[in-house]
Amino acid sequence: MSAEEHDDLRRRDHANAWDASGLIVSGIAVWGGVGWLVSEWLDNTIFVMLGLLVGMGAALYLVWVRYGKS
């Protein structure tokens, strides 16, 4: 990696913080939404909770993969 490329990455890092929050919101919304649909279908509430937790976990993992390793 050239010095210029490295500089690009470093400066982009702090800007990425803004995007990470959106990723977490979408994780909760997507899998929480799926969990809610399953719960409606099976007539219980456990899957909403599961979906929300899985979504949050998946989103946090993605944030870590995208921005945490460097």
Partner 1 sequence: MIAAESPEFHSPGPADFEFPPIFGEGTFFTKPMLVVVLGTIAVGAFFYFAARRATVVPGKLQFAAESFYGFVRNQIAMDAIGREGSKYVPYLVTLFGFLVALNISGIIPILQLPATSKIGIPLGLAAISWIIFNYVGIRRQGFGGYFKNMMFPPGVPKALYPLLAPLEFLSTVVFRPATLTLRLTFNMFAGHLVLLLTILGGEYLITEYQGVVGYAAGSVSLLFSIVLTFFEGFIQILQAYVFTLLTAIYIGGALTHEH
Residues that bind partner 1 (CB under 8 A): 4, 8, 11-12, 14-16, 18-19, 22-23, 25-27, 29-31, 54-55, 58-59, 61-62, 65-66, 69
> Given the complex with partner 1, which of 2 and 43 has the nearer CB atom?
2
Contacts of 32 (CB under 8 A, 6+ apart): 48, 51, 52, 55
d(CA 6, CA 24): 27
> Given the complex with partner 1, which of 29 and 39 has the nearer CB atom?
29
DSSP letter for 43, please. Answer: T
> Given the complex with partner 1, which of 39 and 60 has the nearer CB atom?
60
